[in-house]
């Protein structure tokens, strides 16, 4: 297990390297930082001085290494607009995004696995078809439209839940859960559909296996066959999709935080793009990408734990 983990970690390194090169090139493509710092009416001498001070006159690969070094020392730069360190801005926004992402994953996994099991149990029946239709629907409705539908229904018409805003969990846990409920459900639609589909397909495949017949022949109850034997063996693809689906959750975060006015990283990056605040954009893009790569790594390790047959 340790050797497998080490090898998998090594395999993730080139991907992280490729990502950091891409993000670095993005920063370079976004314009000349020296010109932006110097202002409109800078003399060529002043520009050259700033360039030398920022080491922009070095070859690109040396700049890249220097930038990488700064990242490793925890220096992520400063916002061009407020002058705050990007690390602090990201830190302040982390809680809302993390709450939303975790609540979404919880809702989607519970409902998705449940729906998938229901469909597999009634394979070919009308329940199966209904779940299939719900899934295609989930893939087709943008999460912000679901969000607005929920606001319209539960917040405006019924008045059960607040329409917008965020309360930190440390301040008032009950109010926090009331604020996070609608956005989490809105964001779940796509993810839930993805999980339900994979669960159904994966369960149907395992239910065809010989060992299921053996378990039934040995007198295991249908519930036991379904939950203990089939679900455990079908778990690997389900866990994979939870990792892959993080990209989906992220798209949801960016737009859902805007709909519900939550002070999270998604809101931060949208504001940064509208203000052309490149260091902030760069940092959030890099952060999300690294988390995405790491999450897929964790998923791969979870495989090995779930299914001892998997070894690379």
Q: Which residues bind another protein (CB under 8 A)?
A: 14-16, 18-19, 21-23, 26, 29-31, 136-137, 139-142, 144-145, 148-149, 151-152, 156, 163, 246-247, 250-251, 254-255, 258, 269-270, 272-274, 276, 278, 281-282, 284-285, 288-289, 292-293
CB of 92 to another protein, least distance (A): 20
Query: How far from 194 is each of 93, 147, 208, 248, CA to CA, in Å?
Result: 28, 18, 22, 10
- Least distance in angstroms from the C-beta of 163 to another protein: 8
**Please, what is the minimum distance in Å from the beta carbon of residue 214 to another protein?**
28
Which CB sits closer to another protein, 145 or 181? 145
CB nearer to another protein: pick between 162 and 226: 162
Q: How far is the CB of 41 from another protein (least distance, A)?
A: 24
- Of the candidates 64, 38, 68, the one whose C-alpha atom is nearest the C-alpha of residue 53 is 38
116/233 with CB nearer another protein: 116
What 3-state class would DSSP assign to 78?
strand
Residue 190 Cβ vs another protein, minimum distance, rounded to whole Å: 9
Residue 135: partners with Cβ closer than 8 Å, 6 or more residues away:
115, 193, 196, 197
| Residue number, 44 or 124, with CB nearest to another protein | 124
How many C-beta atoms surround the C-beta of residue 122 within 10 A?
A: 14
Q: Which is nearer to another protein, 144 or 226 (CB)?
A: 144
Give the whole-angstrom CA distance, residue 115 versus residue 135. Answer: 10
User: Which of 223, 250, 240, 228 has its CA nearest to residue 100?
Assistant: 250
Q: Are 226 and 117 in contact (CB under 8 A)?
A: yes
Locate 117 and state its tokens. Answer: 């099991």
Helical packing angle, 235-244 and 278-306, nearest 10°: 170
Q: Is 47 or 275 the residue whose CB approaches another protein more closely?
A: 275
| Closest to 246 in 3D by CA, of 145, 92, 100, 87 | 100
Q: How close are the terminal C-alpha atoms of the chain, in Å?
A: 10
Complex with another protein: residue 23 or 38, whichever CB lies closer? 23
Nearest distance from C-beta of residue 300 to another protein, angstroms: 14
Least distance (Å) between residue 225 CB and another protein = 27
């Amino acid at each position: 297990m340790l050797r497998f983990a080490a090898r998998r970690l090594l395999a993730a390194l080139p991907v992280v390297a490729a990502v950091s090169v891409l993000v670095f090139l993005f920063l370079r493509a976004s314009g000349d930082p020296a010109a932006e710092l110097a202002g409109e009416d800078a003399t060529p001498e002043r520009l050259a001085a700033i360039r030398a001070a920022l080491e922009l006159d070095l070859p690109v690969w040396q700049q890249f290494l220097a930038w990488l070094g700064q990242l490793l020392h925890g220096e992520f730069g400063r916002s061009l607009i407020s002058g705050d360190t990007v690390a602090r801005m990201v830190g302040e926004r982390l809680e809302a995004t993390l709450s939303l992402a975790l609540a979404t994953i919880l809702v989607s996994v519970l409902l998705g696995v449940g729906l998938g099991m229901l469909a597999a149990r009634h394979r070919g029946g009308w329940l199966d078809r209904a779940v299939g239709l719900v899934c295609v629907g989930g893939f087709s409705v943008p999460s912000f439209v679901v969000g607005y539908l929920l606001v319209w229904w539960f917040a405006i018409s019924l008045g059960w839940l607040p329409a917008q805003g965020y309360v930190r969990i440390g301040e008032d846990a009950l109010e926090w859960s009331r604020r996070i409920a609608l956005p989490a459900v809105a964001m779940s639609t796509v993810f839930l559909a993805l999980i339900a589909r994979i669960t159904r397909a994966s369960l149907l495949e395992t239910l065809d296996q010989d060992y299921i017949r053996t378990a039934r022949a040995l007198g295991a109850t249908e519930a036991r066959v379904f939950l203990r034997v089939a679900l455990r063996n079908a778990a690997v693809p389900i866990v994979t999709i939870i990792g892959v689906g993080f990209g989906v959750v992220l798209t949801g975060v960016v737009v859902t935080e805007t709909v519900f006015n939550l002070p999270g990283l998604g809101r931060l990056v949208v504001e940064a793009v509208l203000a052309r605040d490149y260091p902030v954009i760069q940092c959030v893009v890099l952060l999300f990408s690294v988390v995405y790569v790491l999450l897929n790594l964790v998923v791969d390790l979870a495989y090995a734990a779930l299914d001892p047959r998997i070894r690379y």
